[in-house]
Chains A and B, each alone.
Chain A
């Protein structure tokens, strides 16, 4: 019974995978074996292990980690509080709506807000802190990235919390657990799946951010995404760009396997 239905759903999905996932992977892997002159070589892979690219990889991971951490930190309470509101589905939708406005326009707005004479600095002056450079700093980069990824994190966590059977919480409280203990031992573990899928949706794309590195960080943050962009659109060195992409895909698979394995352990 089960096996039959599996085959059924697999058809359209596998078709999609074959056409739009396998094809790009094959193309990317294929291109990664050609150097800039169009000759077959492993040059690109050697190049990836030079200090420049290793440093870049490290800094991409570092920023992606920071972004994911802060997004989670802000998204979890938001999702939690949203489930307590009256029209929760409506509020949830209103969390998503801002992401439908074009990213470039929002980035321009942030340039205005964070600029030397922008609203954020005026606010700081009023507060007595005095003007600061906000634009083109690590802070502004992480802030705007968190801003963009927030809905992607809130949504799965909200859905997980929403499903949570309130009787578990009552039971925990009846048994005398403190609020914190209830949260850390009951609520959080039960919503871990949502948290995990949120982290995946944020961390993985954060590795390859490129637009914001220029607009908000003024190219002071260089990620793997920036490098790929450069190689494809400026140098036209598709081989090197593809090689970095191959590594990104490998990182992604490793991350998925790591998070997937943990899930199995818990389910047993």
Chain B
């Protein structure tokens, strides 16, 4: 009994001492004041130095919170409880949030730096006139591979190259229903936003024949698996590919010619905001050419900020694999919000595909 009481009091004392320390630290950091904004972003998706720079320039403290999927973020914003001032969802999610009335319109008059954004990334179908969102990063879906581990017959100009018999048990796929069903559709020259169930089934049946080549269907680990020579080929997002290529220079990235996905992560102001003006200040700050350049060099994704490109390493910005020109992006499709029913169907097919055994 004595032991129990002693252990319990020890635990309580330690906790309260720590609690006091945390409180002191928080106050010292200024996180408790009124003049703050809460930014909700993907993990490690911003250069932390820029947050400090923003704090110095404006005197607004930034509370930085992170999420790991669009859907998880949506749930948190829907439920409220935290007053997020800025969030960075992907394009199909923006459409959904718009429909669910979770976003505030953005006042372009407060964003003089908006002119820096390349016009081809503005006024897209998921958000006409950029009423609710401002581009943050963009990219494609493609194939990352080790040229020396792949037979010379294959150049990945076609999605069909993935089915090549020499790639047995050597292909990694990213764990996303739309990405995987999507390249199945693309390989049949159908649209990524196909809603015809017959065609979708056709794509799924074709994907089933890919199973002997598939080593695993994974998430973000795909990057380190590729760096590690765990597999010869991977289907993934360009941002991840670029990261992996920085670490392992022998890797190559290719977007097949039949077409692929063009994706965007945009900044939005959720309805939960308490400091709308500061949110605009933050967006405008991120649109500054130098800031955007620094951020792109840190994160490694492609920036839509045209004025930022001269401030960056030429080798990066002239790389057509990650900064494809207008002609090349013309063949790419942006995901449309297909509605819940259709999305569920995509997922069902994907689930069946995953369960398909060799």
Q: Chain A residues in contact with chain B, CB under 8 A?
A: 36-37, 52, 55-56, 108, 111-112, 115-117, 133, 135-136, 214-215, 217-220, 222, 227, 230-237, 240
A42–chain B nearest beta-carbon distance, Å? 17
Q: Is the CB of A222 within 8 A of B355?
A: yes
Q: What residues of chain A lie closer than 8 Å to B169, measured between beta carbons?
A: 133
B99–chain A nearest beta-carbon distance, Å? 13
| Interface membership of B125, Cβ < 8 A | no
Q: Is the CB of A230 within 8 A of B351?
A: yes
Q: List 13 A-B contacts (CB under 8 A).
A: A36-B344, A52-B348, A108-B224, A111-B221, A117-B229, A135-B230, A214-B175, A214-B217, A218-B215, A219-B354, A227-B351, A236-B71, A237-B340
Of chain A, the residue at the smallest CB distance from B69 is A233
B182–chain A nearest beta-carbon distance, Å? 14
Q: What residues of chain B lie closer than 8 Å to A217, measured between beta carbons?
A: 216
Q: Is the CB of B230 within 8 A of A115?
A: yes
Since A36-B341, A37-B341, A235-B343 are in contact, a sample of 8 more A-B pairs with Cβ atoms closer than 8 Å, ordered by chain A residue number, is A36-B344, A52-B355, A115-B225, A214-B218, A214-B219, A219-B218, A220-B217, A230-B351
Please, how many angstroms separate the alpha-carbon atoms of A219 and B229 in the complex? 19
Q: What residues of chain A lie closer than 8 Å to B348, measured between beta carbons?
A: 52
Q: What residues of chain B lie closer than 8 Å to A117, measured between beta carbons?
A: 228-229
Q: What residues of chain B lie closer than 8 Å to A112, measured between beta carbons?
A: 228
- 7 closest A-B pairs by beta carbon, nearest first, are A218-B216, A219-B217, A136-B216, A235-B347, A233-B71, A36-B340, A235-B344
A164–chain B nearest beta-carbon distance, Å? 22
Of chain A, the residue at the smallest CB distance from B346 is A235
Of chain B, the residue at the smallest CB distance from A114 is B230
Of chain A, the residue at the smallest CB distance from B211 is A220
Please, how many angstroms separate the alpha-carbon atoms of A55 and B217 in the complex? 19
**Residue total for B at the interface (Cβ-Cβ under 8 A):** 29
Chain B binding surface, main DSSP class: helix
Q: What residues of chain B lie closer than 8 Å to A222, measured between beta carbons?
A: 351, 354-355
Q: Is the CB of B71 within 8 A of A234?
A: yes
Tell me which of B69, B216, B225, B343 contacts A219 (CB under 8 A).
Answer: B216
Please, how many angstroms separate the alpha-carbon atoms of A37 and B342 in the complex? 11
Q: What residues of chain A lie closer than 8 Å to B341, measured between beta carbons?
A: 36-37
Please, how many angstroms separate the alpha-carbon atoms of A85 and B235 in the complex? 52
Tell me which of B218, B343, B351, B354 contacts A215 (CB under 8 A).
Answer: B218
Q: Is the CB of A230 within 8 A of B347?
A: yes
A104–chain B nearest beta-carbon distance, Å? 10
Chain B 308-347 near chain A by CB (<8 Å), digits 1 or 0: 0000000000000000000000000000000011011001
Q: Is the CB of B177 within 8 A of A234?
A: yes
Please, how many angstroms separate the alpha-carbon atoms of A123 and B179 in the complex? 37
A54–chain B nearest beta-carbon distance, Å? 11
Q: What residues of chain A lie closer than 8 Å to B343, measured between beta carbons?
A: 235-236
Tell me which of B225, B344, B355 contacts A56 (CB under 8 A).
Answer: B355
Please, how many angstroms separate the alpha-carbon atoms of A234 and B349 in the complex? 13
Q: Is the CB of B175 within 8 A of A236?
A: no
Chain B 63-103 near chain A by CB (<8 Å), digits 1 or 0: 00000010110100000000000000000000000000000
Q: What residues of chain A lie closer than 8 Å to B177, measured between beta carbons?
A: 234
A191–chain B nearest beta-carbon distance, Å? 24
| Interface membership of B55, Cβ < 8 A | no
Q: Is the CB of B221 within 8 A of A108?
A: yes
Please, how many angstroms separate the alpha-carbon atoms of A173 and B340 in the complex? 68
From 289 to 318 in chain B, residues with beta carbon under 8 angstroms from any chain A beta carbon are none
A108–chain B nearest beta-carbon distance, Å? 7
Please, how many angstroms separate the alpha-carbon atoms of A230 and B352 in the complex? 13
Of chain A, the residue at the smallest CB distance from B358 is A220
Q: What residues of chain A lie closer than 8 Å to B347, measured between beta carbons?
A: 230-231, 234-235, 237
Please, how many angstroms separate the alpha-carbon atoms of A52 and B343 in the complex? 17
B8–chain A nearest beta-carbon distance, Å? 16
Of chain B, the residue at the smallest CB distance from A136 is B216
Tell me which of B228, B229, B340 contacts A236 (CB under 8 A).
Answer: B340
Please, how many angstroms separate the alpha-carbon atoms of A37 and B344 in the complex? 11
Chain B 173-210 near chain A by CB (<8 Å), digits 1 or 0: 00101000000000000000000000000000000000
B174–chain A nearest beta-carbon distance, Å? 11
Q: What residues of chain B lie closer than 8 Å to A37, measured between beta carbons?
A: 340-341
